[in-house]
Amino acid sequence: MAPTTRRRALGTLAAALTAGVAAPQLAHAAGAGRGPRPLLRAHAHNDYDHARPLFDALDHRFNSVEADIYLVDGDLLVAHDPADLDPARTLESLYLAPLAARVRAQHGSVYRGRRIPLQLLIDIKTEGAATYLELDRQLRRYQGLFTTYAHGRVRTGPVTAVVSGDRAARVPMEAQRARSAFYDGRLTDLGTATPASFTPLISDNWATNFTWQGAGPMPAAERAKLRGIVAAAHARGQRVRLWATPDAAGPARDTVWSELLAAGVDHLNTDDLAGLEAFLDAHER
């Protein structure tokens, strides 16, 4: 399909799907229809390290995936470390084009019959402003695929891109009246005037904010702190993600995950796709 035809088809499809939808955050309840039930709280950290980036996470029903990007010679390459950069592993080839194809094949949704946006968290590893400008250019090529903000209005698409990593990306993003991505805030953004239409997600490092790592009961003061963070974010229509939580299989990880669920944390961070899938299924039962 020619690029112009592809953009027109995606644009028409997304317009029909997103009419009247105005919130950038992921839905918190599964929609009706056929297809696998997505795990709305499952976030694939370092998703590109799996044998089948994106598709392994989707097969495990994850509703959020994370890709680290570097701006190299005018393109966006996906890797965790500079030594792993490969010109063939671009953001477009691993994520953007496959997501567009999946949406077309499944009639407008990553999960057939459902209107729940997939979150694509994009962690910028090179200088934020320049890298974001190239990212913005690439996202705009996929008209209708991504949730957008334009002139004070959010239109929800099949995929919501959220920009994390180098904080210099914030400056060009805030200057835009129209964009195809949103910003990943930090705990320092919680309770500020920054609206959820710009910062729908609040993320931070578990290890620098909490001492408890799952051994024994969670200290009451830390449980209260966690629940206060979630309550403050949810009051403003924002979601919460904490990275660097324990991720080695075992009771400590399960105990931490249980506390995160009980507190209402929206995204559980893991590199163990099967482990989190099994935990969430067992918890729901």
Contact 91, 122 (CB under 8 A): yes
> pLDDT for 140-180, tens place per residue?
999 999 999 998 999 999 999 999 999 999 999 999 999 99
Q: What are the structure tokens assigned to 260, written together?
A: 């995160």
Whole-prediction pTM: 0.88
Crossing angle (nearest 10°) for helices 3-18 and 97-105: 60
Total domain count, the chain: 1
Annotate 179-192 with three-state secondary structure.
ECCEEEECHHHCCC
H or E element that contains 234: helix 220-235
Domain annotation covers residue 209: no
Domain of residue 35, residue span: 3-201
pLDDT of 99 above 60: yes
Domain annotation covers residue 244: no
Higher pLDDT, 60 or 2: 60
pLDDT of 129 above 60: yes
Give me the DSSP letters along 38-56.
-EEEEEETTGGGSSSTTHH
Question: What is the model's pLDDT at position 25?
Answer: 38
CA distance 279 to 258: 9
Domain annotation covers residue 241: no
pLDDT of 22 above 70: no
Domain annotation covers residue 239: no
Domain annotation covers residue 90: yes
